[in-house]
Amino acid sequence: MNVLITGGSGYLGQFLVHGLAGQGYTVHYAYGSRQLASAPPGVVAHKVDLATGEGLQEAFDQAPFHAVINCAAISQPAVCENSPDTARAVNVPSHLVDCLLRQEQVRAGLRAVLVHISTDQVYDGSRAHWKEDEAGGQVNVYGRTKYEAETHILSRLPEPYPVAILRSSIIYGPPAPDPVPRPLFLQFVASAVSNPDKPTSFFQDEYRSPVHVRDLQRITELLIAAHGQQLASEAAAAAAAARGGGQAAEAAAVPARALEALAPEALAAVAARRHRVFNAGGPERLSRVDMARQVADCLGCGYDSIESVPSASVARWVQRVFGGRGRGGRCRSLTCTLRAS
């Protein structure tokens, strides 16, 4: 299977590039300004401007893609507030959808499964435990553009086109193979709690459901594998029918893996194109203070450097989501495991 990862030089994207290449997929990735120095052998890089679409069709012309993972986004809320038009141009993947539809037309109806990484900020944050069909009332430009992306994808790629939208929360974990040009959440917190001489304020009333990068990586890999098996099954059935019966070889090679390892009923639902939007946060609803204390416990630092404050005590011109999405049980059977890195 050929896989394209947009935003492949970003944090999650790098783990997907390395993970999928290591499992035998033919991996292509799109980058904006930083090509990966540590990309595995055989991985193909494409320089792409997602805001204009420049370079994207050229990537599709090189190979038919069986799966596309869209990790690319302007995800810093303050940057989105400052440049809403640019944020919308990048975060709403209209050019990517154009390429997917064009591929379907010119490559005998080939539909690549689209796994789109969204955010819990599509909810308004007024309470906890949101369900997938309750999004709306976004409180900042980032959340609005990501919700616009979801509606754009679902309207232009209607059923039975294979789509899986994963609404992630804060992604944490070890450093990526290549440095990323922004502070990583876990590393920021670890640095803060390790400095008792300089207390850092953490909000006691802003809740999120942090998810380990390896869990989100694994969910994505399993979704792609499920789609690959579906493609292979359809190709085998078509070939057998054309010959009037008998067994057909699988047309798309899918690396062997145990799909039952994570919520097989949810994966089967995606492969059968019955569900399209999933909450994909971790299993715990934690305040920023809770997160800082857990990191401090892991490092044995104590809580002297953690200052618990209400969010209203800090003047911020970007509104944030406070309620949190809730526990992993809301992930429509895509249960993640919160792990220490």
Q: How far apart are CA 205 and CA 320, in angstroms?
A: 11
Model confidence band, residue 322 (pLDDT cutoffs 50, 70, 90): low
Q: How far apart are CA 232 and CA 240, in angstroms?
A: 12
Q: Name the 3-class secondary structure at 204.
A: coil
**What is residue 270's predicted lDDT score, i.e. its pLDDT?**
55
Q: How does pLDDT run across 147-187, given as a tens digit for each residue?
A: 999 999 999 999 999 999 999 999 999 999 999 988 888 89
How many CA atoms does the CB half-sphere of 284 hold within 13 Å?
Answer: 11
Model confidence band, residue 248 (pLDDT cutoffs 50, 70, 90): very low
Q: How far apart are CA 291 and CA 313, in angstroms?
A: 19
Closest CA to 43 of 182, 223, 178: 178
Residue 338: phi and psi, rounded to 5, are -80, 115
User: Using CA of residue 252, residue 224, residue 74, residue 7, what is the dihedral sign?
Assistant: negative
User: Using CA of residue 189, residue 144, residue 334, residue 270, what is the dihedral sign?
Assistant: negative
User: Using CA of residue 55, residue 60, residue 61, residue 63, what is the dihedral sign?
Assistant: positive
- pTM recorded for the entire structure: 0.85
Q: How does pLDDT run across 57-79, given as a tens digit for each residue?
A: 999 999 999 999 999 999 999 99
Q: Is the predicted pLDDT of residue 234 greater than 90, yes or no?
A: no
Query: Looking at the DSSP assignment, which residues form a beta bridge with residue 28?
Result: 4, 44
Q: How does pLDDT run across 184-230, given as a tens digit for each residue?
A: 888 999 999 999 889 999 999 888 899 999 999 999 999 999 888 88
Report the chain's mean pLDDT, rounded to a whole number: 85
**What is residue 321's predicted lDDT score, i.e. its pLDDT?**
55
Pseudo-torsion of CA 137, 141, 144, 146, nearest 10°?
-140
Contact 17, 27 (CB under 8 A): yes
Residue 171: phi and psi, rounded to 5, are -100, 125
Q: How far apart are CA 251 and CA 2, in angstroms?
A: 12
Q: How far apart are CA 307 and CA 74, in angstroms?
A: 29
Residue-range domains of the chain with CATH? 2-172+212-279 (3.40.50.720), 185-208+284-330 (3.90.25.10)
